[in-house]
A and B are shown apart, each in its own frame.
Chain A
Amino acid sequence: MIAFEGIAVRYHGAGVRALDNVTFRAPAGEVTAVTGPNGSGKSTLVRALLRRQSLEDGRITIDGRDHASMSAIEMARAVAVAPQRENPAFPMRVDEYVALARYPHLGLWQTAALSDAAKVTDAIARAGLEEFAGRRTDELSGGEWQRVRIARALAQGGRALVLDEPTTFLDLSHEMSLFELLDGLATDGMAVLLISHQLNLVARFARNVILLHHGRVVAAGSPADVMQAPLLEKVYEWPLVVSRDPAVGAPSLIPLRRKAPVSHSAPSATPNTLT
């Protein structure tokens, strides 16, 4: 379980906190999703978890241990993180790339054991990448590359998995299969923390949703609790309706047009009328 306990983060020289009194838990056996508009502090959360950004207040615990007291290797063994931005400096083969995930489990001199190789093969299979294992990372499409990153996080092992915007560039089927994969991992007992813009998918798969706005938690709870139209309209500053998906029963958000749609077939010749 990953627990954020009243954490506050302030970037160097910034007046306001990027995260302010953020408290929530990502328990084992569940998919927990953090969502919110751009700049709400979602990626700062990952940076704080990775200790790339120091905490001004509060603490983060992993299975009850304060993460500030853990070594980098202990952290990496307990929690696998796929950060949003990643671009290897030099291309390599997909299987070589995924194998780098075993770094925290190997000493500097230890050679990878058969069990490490098995975990790499298994992660590649679970991400549906068998046919890409021998391909070079610079020859992949955006969606394939996303899945390679996820495979690497899976191969890292650990009891918790954190994915920052893993569905960017994924098409419908890959997006769905990723969510089903995460659902399965949670069922197997893993703590899955997902940072995602995809409110509708999050509402279907996450047990708990945390809504961030200006660095604060403005709503937390079940998808039905958080997906309230008035709240989301305020946070996203956009008119929308929340309905219930007729097929699966999950709350579903539909953004509305602010202006009346422009008809493409008959361009209006009438001049603007000022009122």
Chain B
Amino acid sequence: MSHHMWHWWIMVAALIVLSVVAVGIGAVSIPPLEVLQAVRGVGEEGVVSIVRNLRLPRVILAALVGAALGMSGGALQGTLRNGLAEPYLLGVSGGAAVGAVIAFAVGATAGGIVAIAAFAGASAAVLLALVVARAAGRGGHGDPRTLLMAGVVIGAFANAVIMIALANASPNTIRGALWWMMGSVADGSWATVGWLTAYVAAGGFALIYWAREIDVLALGDESAAALGVNVETAARRIYLLSAVLAAATVAAAGLIGFVGLVVPHIVRAAGIRHHRPLLIASALVGATLVTGADLVARTVRPPGELPLGAVTAILGIPFFLAQLRRAA
């Protein structure tokens, strides 16, 4: 194996410790041991309630979102053979934003409806990107670059739609849409955690199951074909799974940038290169990054919160710059 066992211990320990700390920090500060007891329902009633009903679902939601974005990014970077690939690339973010903005514009701002609209928008955009790429690809062999460009074009189109929709919208609509686009896990509830867990578990397991295909796809189309992979089928499967994971996170928590881009690079820098361990590690690191970012977002300027997407970007940039230094 190419990586040392202690990498895994550090990743798992970091996520657990950070989660316990994150649950403990807030308007009411709770020491780690009490947090662990409260999770089991032991302790003061108020503390148990804060932990179980408010902070735990929020922390778990952040971890789930980070895990999904990390895996989605890792799978896409390998399949598209491009270190700049990220989960929002295939039109996911643009499509989701269009859906959410339309929901805000028509005043359907109840949490569940915005999530459904965002998910529908993201799904529509991804399907559109696949159709456009297929129509543009010559001779039936889909080139990954064609799909990338189709995603970029659809993202640009989605931006145009958003600008038009918001141009004459009321300040409330604009504010709601803007906050949604900046991403947040503040509304984390057990219901959201429940359905997102289902998506992340199913999508993540499927990606991990097919991870060896990603290893081979990363070599290039001809080499992958020579090693027995049906390149088009395999690539389409990975795109769809990655897009579903990203769309689910967008529906649950809005747009949280940089996680899917930077996390796989951090994992590769630790010497993990085969995609099965890479995806698992990306889930752990992504979960840690978003949990940490959310902790920062809600503690820097209480009782106000910073936009989560901005914090993930600020925390992620040093890692990315370190990567650039290595590559140079």
Contact = CB atoms under 8 A, between A and B. Distances in A.
Interface of A: 11-13, 46-47, 50-52, 71-77, 80-83, 85-93, 96, 100-101, 103-104, 106, 108-109, 156
A75 B228 CA distance: 7
Contacts of A13: 138
Given A88-B219, A96-B2, A101 B212 contact: no
Contacts of A100: 215-216, 219, 227
Nearest to B228: A76
Contacts of B141: 52
Given A52-B141, A73-B228, A106 B220 contact: no
Contact of B220 (A47, A86, A96, A101): A86
A96 B226 contact: no
22 contacts: A12-B138, A50-B225, A50-B226, A51-B225, A74-B228, A75-B228, A76-B227, A81-B222, A83-B226, A85-B222, A89-B77, A89-B78, A89-B219, A89-B220, A90-B78, A90-B273, A96-B2, A96-B274, A103-B216, A103-B229, A108-B213, A156-B226
Contacts of B302: none
B83 A89 contact: yes
Nearest to A50: B225
B226 A81 contact: yes
B303 interface: no
Given A96-B274, A108-B212, A88 B228 contact: no
B139 A11 contact: yes
Interface residues of B, number: 32
A126 to B, nearest CB: 19
Contacts of A93: 2, 273
A101 B141 CA distance: 23
A100 B216 CA distance: 7
A72 B230 contact: yes
Nearest to A104: B228
B228 A96 contact: no
A103 B220 contact: no
Interface in B194-249: 209-213, 215-216, 218-223, 225-231
B298 interface: no
A268 to B, nearest CB: 49
Nearest to A81: B226
A89 B218 contact: yes
Sort A-B residue pairs by CB-CB distance and give the 6 closest, nearest first: A76-B228, A89-B81, A12-B139, A104-B228, A81-B226, A83-B222
B82 interface: yes
A93 B221 CA distance: 20
A47 B220 CA distance: 13
